[in-house]
Structure 1
C-alpha cells in the first residue's frame, strides 16, 4: 500500500474512532433501533432467508438486536470468526448473547465452526465498516478480513455496510485490494450505490 494512502486511512480511522467514542448511550440505543429497522426492511425487500452479519462492538452501530430478531423469525444468520491466516470462518447465530473474544479482541459467536465456504449460501452480506463513500467504496478497520472475503467470492450476493449516517463520505482513501459494497445501512436510511 502506498504510504500516502496508508497515512490517509490511518488518519481517517482515528477521526472516526474518536467520533464514535463521543456518542452517548442514548444515541447508541437509538442508532441500534434504527439499524434493526433498516436491516429488517432490507431483508424483507430482498426476500433473504440466509444472511451474514457481525456482532457489533460497543462503539459500532448495534447489530445484536437485529440478529436476535432475525433468528427468532427463522432467518439463518452467519457470524464471522477471525482466523490467524486472515480468513474468516463462520458460525450460525442461535439468538443468545453468548460470545467469545476473538483474535483481535472482537466479539465472536460460540457454536459449531463452519469454514469460509459457508458464506456461498447466503442471500445477503451485512458487513462492518469504518466508512463508505458515495461511489460504494468501503473502508474497513485495516485488518483486511472482509476485503479478502469479498474479493475471493466467485458469486457474491449484495453487500451492505453498516455505518452511522455521518460515515457516508464523499470519498474514502482506496487501494487496489479494497472492495466496494452494494449499499450502506445507517440508523436513518438505506443507500444503494451506483456500481463504479
Structure 2
C-alpha cells in the first residue's frame, strides 16, 4: 500500500493478529449474546430510529453478529443495503430482502442477490454500520487491512452516523492509524453505544 509508514503497518499487523486470536477464542454462546445486545443498542439510537436507509453488513465467523440486527432493521421498515465486494476490494451495494436473499461470495462472505446499486449508494444511507477489529476513543477504526471500508467511508457525507460494531474489550484508548484511515462517529458494543470524538 503506497504511503504506508512501515512502523504503522507493522503495528497494525501485530494488533490485528492479537484481536483476531482473541475473537477466535470467544465462546459461541458469548458471540450470540453479544449480537443480541448490540442489536438492541443500535436499534435504540435516535439515528437508527429516524433512518430510512441503513448500510450494514453480514457478519462472518466470530465477528459481532449482525443476522438478528439485519432482520430487525427490515422489520422496523428500514431499507437495508449490504456490501458486494468488487475485484479491486472496493464495495458496491445491494438491497437486503431477508436471509434467503443472500448467497455465498468470495472470502467466505454472504452477499445480496439483488441488483447492485453502485459504489456511491453508501452515500444515500442515513446510518452506516461497519465492521472492525477495534476502534479508539478518537474514532479511529482498525479494519482487516483491505481498505474496502476506508474507501466506502470516504463517500459518506460528513455528519452521517457511522458506527463500528465491536466487543467491549475492542474499544481501545488508541489504535495504529495511517493517513487514509477514515474515522467513525460511534462504536456499538454489548455494553452500549459509545460516541467517539474525531
TM-score, with normalisation over the residues of structure 2? 0.92
Of 168, 191, 195, 2:194 maps to: 191
SS at match of 2:106: coil
Of 48, 55, 79, 1:76 maps to: 79
Deviation of the 1:44 alpha carbon: 5.9
CA 1:46/1:76 → structure 2, altered by over 3 Å: closer, same or farther?
A: same
* Matched residue, 1:122: 125
* CA deviation map 1:42-87 (0-9, x unaligned): 2566511211000001210011101011112211111000101232
| Structure 1: distance between partners of 2:47 and 2:182 | 25
Q: Counterparts in 2 of 1:137-176, with a 5 A limit?
A: 137-155=140-158, 157-176=160-179
Q: Please, what is the CA RMSD of the aligned residues?
A: 1.6
Paired residues in the alignment total 195
* CA deviation map 1:123-170 (0-9, x unaligned): 110000110011111111000001011123455612110111100011
Where in structure 1 are there 5+ consecutive unaligned residues?
A: none
CA 1:156/1:119 → structure 2, altered by over 3 Å: closer, same or farther?
A: farther
Deviation of the 1:102 alpha carbon: 2.9
> Any conservation in 1 of the 2:139–2:184 contact (CA below 8 Å)?
yes
| Structure 2: distance between partners of 1:58 and 1:98 | 19
Q: Tell me which stretches of 4 or more aligned residues in structure 1 moved more than 3 Å.
A: 43-46, 152-156
* Matched residue, 1:25: 28
TM-score, with normalisation over the residues of structure 1? 0.93
